[in-house]
Amino acid sequence: MSKDLNDAKLTAYVLGELSDKEMKEIELLIKNDPKLKADVESIKSFTQLMRSELKVEPVPVLKDNVKQNINSEINKKLFLAKLFSWNSPLKIALSTGFVFVVCFITLDKFDDLQSTAPTNEVVELTNVEEASIDKEVVETPEAKVTFNNPKQKVRKKFTITSSNRKALKKSYSASRRSFKEGVSGGSKGVKASYKKGANLKSIRVDPSKTGLLSTFGSKGVQKKLSKSRSRKSFIVRDKKPEPIEPIIVEFKKPLAEPLSTFSIDVDTASYSHARKQIMSHSKLPSPNDVRIEEFVNYFKYNDKTPSGDEPFSVGLELSESPWNEGYELVRIALKGKATKTKLRKKNLVFVVDTSGSMNNIDKIPLLKDGLNGLVDQLNSHDTISIIKYAGSHGIHLQPTNGLKKDEIKQAINSLMASGSTNGEGGIKKLSQVFT
Amino acid sequence: VNDEQKKQWLNELFADYQGRLLRYTQRFVANHHANEIVQDVFLKLIKLDDPEKIKGRELSWMFCVSRNQAIDHLRKEKKMSSINSDDEIPFDDSIDKNIEKKESLSMIMKLISELNSTQKEVIILKFQEDLSYAQISEITGHTVNHIGVIVHEAIKKMKNNYQTKGRS
């Protein structure tokens, strides 16, 4: 090390700019060197003199008009922010608690049953109502809810094979049973089939192996459907956001391909997106933005809730196809249990993404709204904590009793979105809070 | 974004730092320009997309922005009067001027006026604004080690001059 730098170190030592280790080294040097000690003392007294002299200089003040400008800018900013929060959109529907699935199957006319001509079948749509899954998670005694994005996608797959409507009808009761078995059988997935006569095909229920919350891509569906061909066609969407060619899936011949699949989906965004395109922008949505199952999902149907031990009910409706004469439409609706209004003791931990991408009027403010709504429903035996993560992560709200609503709401309202996304950190913190 | 908290944050920064920021900026440019620059700094702060990014180092951020604005301003002025733009950035001419005016000004100010601009600035930031080497490094762009050397040499020079003057 050069002498200069060492000298500079001596000054840095006096000014308290060294690390502990370096401090100790210098202290050791000083002990054995009276000249060095004198140097240090002289720097010390000189810098003290300098400090006290420089502090005397008065601090100037800004011109009045500049002060006013800055003050009004600060207040203007606040005012704008308030305006936005008044506009804040719908509350997150945490409190609704049921699942239902709807699917439509267009079948050939009943008359065609006897004919040798193959019948056509199109599986059109499925749905699971959205907010319900969040709730299901919240319900459990030590629930963990991740609010990365208010929208949770839950998909489930099962397959229905049928050659004709009669078969479907006849096997409905059987399928009902098998649906039940399929779900009550837990996470294993159950295959059940019903056979009657040579013509009758089986209905196979195959909840994917992880049970209700399992997810899967729509690829499988597309693959199977795209193989089929004949009279009628419809569009199957792709999950990817980038523009793609519409996928046309035509009717298939059940005799040749008796198996068809459809997915259970909770999204409703496509409907609101299409509505926005039409109402606000006066243009039709692009074909790939129209997802029939999400249109169906958007509405409530008052389907029968399951009774007794049934995990969900299956409803079946049949009507003439309104848009295609000579065809009929089957709607299969799955509905989960409605949750009890009286909630059990809960320990809620929210892992909140506060990264910059959440800095949007329909993200963080919406999330705060939803959380505030939840806090109103908490009571004395509930505990809530919040972990936030962005570039860094940390416990934003230590586990707090549900009655301390002001404290909790203050913490919720102080969430600010900025920085990068370190989801891993947030999850790690979560496990800390739970242990 | 919590409005109240953000407002509080901005108001606190404004109350705490406006004077110091102005004093520092005045050492580069004339008072009315310094006022404009400080106003710009606060407007930038208010409009900051991501305030979290500067949390904990607001002071050095504001000093740094102020400094850059002041230097920009000086460059423009220099261009107009066609002076070589590679010149050292003049820091605190006022110290020298004041000395001419007031002989009574403190011995320390006299000593500072004898330093070069870089030394002057670092000494002012260190001993008047009470900033750490790390903060000064953030503001001026010199490395922390370099700051150490600058401070050390400036003190050495000032001490020497002080002793000479004291003797004479």
- Tell whether the model's pLDDT for residue B59 goes beyond 60: yes
Q: So what's the pLDDT on residue B37?
A: 93
Average pLDDT over every residue of B16-42? 90
Q: Name the residue among A46, A74, A418 with its Cβ closest to that of B46.
A: A74
CA–CA distance, A386 with A354 (Å, rounded to integer): 11
Q: Which residues in chain B have their CB less than 8 angstroms from residue A4's CB?
A: 149, 152
Contact of A401 with A382, CB cutoff 8 Å = yes
Distance CA A20, CA A9 (A): 13
Interface with chain B: mutation pick from A4, A6, A10, A11, highest number of B CBs within 10 Å: A11
Task: For chain A, say whether B52 makes contact (Cβ under 8 Å).
Answer: yes
Which chain A residues are Cβ-neighbours of B36 within 8 angstroms? 66
Structure token pair of residue B92: 């605190």
Residue among B5, B128, B145 whose CB faces A414 most closely: B5
3-state secondary structure of A315: strand
Q: Phi-psi category of A326—alpha, beta or left, where left has phi over 0 and alpha has psi -120 to 50?
A: left
In this prediction, residue B64 carries a pLDDT of: 93
Is this complex scored with an ipTM above 0.90? Answer: no
Record the pTM: 0.42
Distance CA A355, CA B73 (A): 36
Hey, is the C-beta of A12 within 8 angstroms of any chain B C-beta?
yes
Cross-chain Cβ contact B39/A70 below 8 Å: yes
**Within 10 A of A100 (CB to CB), how many other CB atoms are there?**
25
Ranges under pLDDT 50 in chain A = 1-2, 84-240
Q: Please report the pLDDT score of residue A243 as a whole number.
A: 55
- Beta-carbon contacts of A249 under 8 Å, excluding residues fewer than 6 positions away, are A122, A222, A225, A226, A228, A233, A234, A235, A236
Q: How many helices (H) and strands (E) does chain A have?
A: 12, 12
CA B135 to chain centre: 12
Question: Which is it for strands A347-353 and A383-389: parallel, antiparallel or unpaired?
Answer: parallel
Put simply, the answer to whether B1 touches A70 (Cβ < 8 Å) is: no
Q: Hey, is the C-beta of B166 within 8 angstroms of any chain A C-beta?
A: no
Distance CA(B43)–CA(A366), nearest Å, equals: 28
Tokens of A21: 């280790």
Window 80-109 of B: residues touching A by CB (8 A cutoff) are 106-109
Q: Which two tokens stand for residue A152?
A: 């949770």
pLDDT of residue A387: 87
Does the beta-carbon distance from B18 to A63 stay under 8 Å? Answer: no
Check residue B134 and give its pLDDT: 92
Rounded to an integer, what distance in angstroms lies between the CA atom of residue A179 and that of residue A206? 8
Say if the Cβ atoms of B23 and A417 lie within 8 Å: no
Q: Which residue of B has its CA nearest to A68?
A: B39
Q: Is residue B92 very low, low, confident or very high in pLDDT (cuts 50, 70, 90)?
A: low
List C-alpha distances in Å: A305 to A67, A333, A345. 64, 11, 25
The position carrying tokens 């002060």 is: A67
Distance CA A414, CA A417 (A): 10
Within 10 Å of residue A141's Cβ, how many Cβ atoms? 8
Q: Specify which residues A145 forms β-bridges with.
A: A350
Question: CA B31 to CA A319: how far, in whole Å?
Answer: 83
- What is the mean predicted confidence (pLDDT) over B135-155? 92
The residue count for chain B: 168
| Beta pairing, strands A328-336 & A383-389 | unpaired
Which A residues in the span 369-428 are in contact with B, Cβ-Cβ below 8 Å?
390, 413-419
> Given pLDDT bands bounded at 50, 70 and 90, which one contains residue B88?
low
Quote the CA–CA distance of A403 and A399 in Å, as a whole number: 12
Q: Please list every residue in chain A whose beta carbon sits closer than 8 Å to the beta carbon of residue B119.
A: none
Q: B100-135 b/e with 16+ CB inside 10 Å = b?
A: eeeeebbebbbbbbebebbbbbbbbbbbbbebbbeb
Better-scored residue on pLDDT, B78 or B31: B31
User: What are the residues whose beta carbons fall under 8 Å from the beta carbon of A145, sequence distance 6 or more?
Assistant: A134, A137, A138, A348, A349, A350, A351
List A146's β-bridge partners, or say none: A351
pLDDT band at B126 (very low <50, low <70, confident <90, very high): very high
**pLDDT above 90: residue B39:** yes
B7:A74 CB<8 A: yes
User: Residue B80 — very low, low, confident or very high, per pLDDT cuts 50/70/90?
Assistant: low
Closest-CA residue of chain B to A59: B19
CB–CB contact A50 B127 (8 Å): yes
Give the closest residue to A293 by CA, choosing from A319, A317, A314, A274.
A274
